[in-house]
Structure 1
Amino acid sequence: MFLKKILLIEDDLSLGLQLERGLRQEGYATSLARTAQEGLSQARSEAYALIILDWMLPDASGIELLRTLQGEAIQIPVLFLTARDAIEDRVLGLDSGADDYLVKPFSFSELLARLRTLLRRRQQVTAKRLHIDQLTIDLVTRNVLYSGQPVDLTPREFDLLAVLINHRGEIVSREMLVKDVWRQAGRLTSLDNVIDVHIAHLRKKLQIVMRRDIIETVRGVGYRLTSAEK
C-alpha cells in the first residue's frame, strides 16, 4: 500500500526511472514526467502530496513551472533537484517558492529524509487560519485578507507573515527566518540583505491596506509583529 503520491519531474530518463523505482520501493506512489508541460498537466489533474522538480527541463525551467503552479494556486510542496550549487541559485530557487533544495549528486537516503521532513511539516499544520486584528491568513489556500479584502503577497512574503503571526509580540530573529522560511540550517549572513528586502516589501504592502506599520524592526536582532490596534 502506498503512503503518499509524489510527482517526479525529471528529464534525465535514467535518473528519473531510478528515483521512481526507489520511491515506489519505499511506499510512495510516484508518477514520472519528463517535461514541464507534462508535469503541469499531471499537477492539474492529480492530488499530489509533494513534487520533486528538476531545475533544467527541455521545454521550460523548473523556476518557470513553479511560478505557473503558484499562479494557478496549485499549492503542493516542491523539492528542487539541481546541479546548481551557488548561493545565488539556492536563493532564487527558494525565493521562487520551492520548499527545499537538493544539489546533485545526492544520496537517495538524503532525498528520503528531506521528503519525510517536507511531508511531516505539511501534516503538522494544525491551525488553518491565523489572525491579528482584521488581518487573516489561510495556511491551506495561502490567501491573505484584510477586512475581507485580498492582500496580494508573494510566496516568500506569505511565509514571512505566517512566522511573524505565529510569534506575534515576540522577537523573531533572522536565524529563525532562515530556518523556518528559507529552510536552511544555521545562520547564513549572506541572506541578511535578502531577508531585509522581503520584509521591506511585506511591510509596504501591509501598510497600504492597514494604514499603519505593524512590523517592528529590532535593530541587530530581527523583527516583531505588533497589534494593529492603538
Structure 2
Amino acid sequence: MKILLIEDNSELTGNVQDFLHKEGVICEAVQTSFDAQDKLLAYEYDCVVLDIMLPDGSGLDILRFIKSQKISASVIIISAKDSLEDKITGLDWGADDYLTKPFYLSELYARLKALYRRNNLKGNDLLEVGSLQVDTCTLQVFAAGMLVDLTRKEFDLLVFLITNKNRVLSRQAIAQHLWGDYIDDLANFDFVYQHIKNLRKKITLTGNRDPIQTVYGIGYKFSDQYS
C-alpha cells in the first residue's frame, strides 16, 4: 500500500510515518497544498490522508483537485474540526472517510486497510488466481496448496501485479509503488528485475507455471491465464 500524507504538523507526520512503516506501508508526506499537487501529478497512490487546515490553503481544495484530475486514490480527511458541516462537505466532494483528531494510529491504519481492500481487492482479504492464493491479512501465499515463503517486498510485488493483472507495469511504476520517492536518486531500476526473478523462482519451485510475463523494453505483466 502506498500513501500520501498531507499534513503540516511535523510531530504527527513523523508518528504516522513511523507507525505505517512498521506495518509495511509506504507513506510519503508533504506539508503544503503546492507540494501536494506536485506529488499527486507525478506519482500514483492508493490513498491520500488529507488535513483540512494547511498553511497555504484548504485541504478541501486539494480534494477538489484530486477529483478534477480524475486521480484514482481514495481520500481520508483528518481534521481537528469536529463539525458536521466539514464532514458533509468533505464526503459530498468525494472523500471516502473522515477521521477527527486526535485519533489512534491503529484506527487510521484499519481504515486505510478497509479502503484498500474495497478499492483494490474487491472487498476480499483473499486473492485467488488459478492455483495461487494470496491472503492479505496473514501475508501468506499458497501455490497449489504449497506455502510460498516470500519476503515482504516480494509479497507486496505479487499483490501489485495481481491487482493489475493483464496490465503492463513498467519497472519505474513498480519501483515507485513499492519504494515511493526513495527511488528519485537511483540511476536505474535493476533491483526490480532481481525481485521479479526471486518471485518467479519461488513460485515455480512449487511446481507451478510462471505467471509473470516479461514485456521486453517496458516491464512486466501478470497473466490471468495463469493456472
Describe the SS at the equivalent of 2:57.
Answer: coil
2:3 aligned to 3, 6, 18, which one? 6
Structure 2 SS opposite 1:120: helix
Deviation by residue 1:141-171 (Cα, 9 ceiling, x = unmatched): xxxxxxxxxxxxxxxxxxxxxxxxxxxxxxx
For 2:92, the equivalent position in structure 1 comes to 95
Identical-residue share of aligned pairs (%)? 41
Instruction: Give the AA of the match of 1:80.
Output: I
Structure 2 CA distance, aligned partners of 1:8 and 1:44?
15
| Alpha-carbon separation, structure 1, partners of 2:15 and 2:121 | 30
Structure 1 residue 91, shift from structure 2 partner? 0.5
Instruction: State the Cα distance separating 1:82 from its structure 2 match.
Output: 0.3
Amino acid at match of 1:44: L
Q: Are positions 1:21 and 2:21 aligned together?
A: no
Give the Cα separation in 2 of the matches to 1:53 and 1:7.
8
- Secondary structure of the residue aligned to 2:54 is coil
Query: 3-state SS of the aligned residue for 1:75?
Result: coil
Q: Secondary structure at the match of 2:21?
A: helix
CA distance in 1, matches of 2:93, 2:6: 17
Cα offsets for 1:205-229 (capped at 9, x unmatched): xxxxxxxxxxxxxxxxxxxxxxxxx
Rounded Cα–Cα distance in structure 1 between residues aligned with 2:121 and 2:2: 18
C-alpha distance in 2 between matches for 1:98 and 1:61: 14
Post-superposition CA distance 1:112-163 (Å, at most 9, x none): 111111111102449xxxxxxxxxxxxxxxxxxxxxxxxxxxxxxxxxxxxx
Q: Deviations over 1:75-120 (max 9, x none)?
A: 2100000011121211111111110000001111111111111111
Aligned equivalent of 2:53: 56
Which of the numbers 14, 29, 44 marks the counterpart of 1:47? 44
Q: Which has the higher contact order (CA 8 A, sep 6+)?
A: 2
Name the aligned partner's letter for residue 77 of structure 1. S
Residue type at the aligned position of 1:97? G
Aligned to 2:225: none
Unmatched segments (≥5 aa) in structure 1: 127-230
Query: What TM-score, normalized to structure 2?
Result: 0.52
* Runs of 4+ with deviation above 6 angstroms: none
Which residue does the alignment assign to 2:83? 86
Q: 1:80-229 alignment to 2 at 5 Å? A: 80-125=77-122
Matched, 1:77 2:74: yes
What number of residue pairs does the alignment pair up? 123
Indicate whether 1:37 and 2:34 are aligned: yes
TM-score by length of structure 1 reads 0.52
